[in-house]
Amino acid sequence: MEDSKKRVFHTDKAAFTGGPYSQAIIYQDMIYVSGQIALDPKTNAPVLGTIEEQSTLALENLKIILEEAGSSMDKVIRVNVYLASIDDYPKFNEVYKRFFTADLPARTCVAVAGLPLGAKVEIDAIAIV
């Protein structure tokens, strides 16, 4: 039996590849946002720039989803970051600090063998709605 408090959330204002997953799930007072990569929200095409450019766009897409769902970056409690190269860790952190300034969320950051569509970074999050 499906829990009636679970709700699929989608906004056309943020990028979405159309893959077999939800952009986000809202359950009770929490939102679980799927991994965001550097996709142009108007075309859903990958933006293959520097790690700084890709990180900024992925975090902007995350922010849009959260805000459209009634949450915000300040309400994020957990972030997972996947980097195609651990060498990008310092540059990623510089961008990350522009989006999360106080009461930083718990975070894991790992290097992976590869990411979809040539992405250098993928970010998912859990936040309070």
Percent of all residues in the chain with a pLDDT value above 90, rounded to a whole number: 92
Cα–Cα distances (Å) from 37 to 55, 78, 103, 126, in that order, read 8, 17, 24, 16
- Count of domains for the chain: 1
Average pLDDT over residues 38-57: 97
CB 31 within 8 A of CB 71: yes
**Reported confidence tier of residue 18, pLDDT bands at 50, 70, 90:** confident
Q: Which domain holds residue 41?
A: 6-128
The C-alpha atoms of residue 11 and residue 9 are separated, in whole angstroms, by: 7
Alpha helices in 12-126 (DSSP H): 51-68, 89-99
pTM as predicted: 0.94
Nearest to 112 by CA among 77, 75, 81: 81
pLDDT in tens, 54-103: 999 999 999 999 999 999 999 999 999 999 999 999 999 999 999 998 89
Average pLDDT over residues 37-50: 96
User: 58: domain CATH number?
Assistant: 3.30.1330.40
What is the rounded average pLDDT for all residues in the chain? 96
CB 10 within 8 A of CB 22: yes
Amino acid at 54: Q
Taking only Cα atoms into account, the Rg of the chain, rounded to an integer number of angstroms, comes to 14
pLDDT in tens, 1-14: 455 689 999 999 99
In a domain, 1, yes or no: no
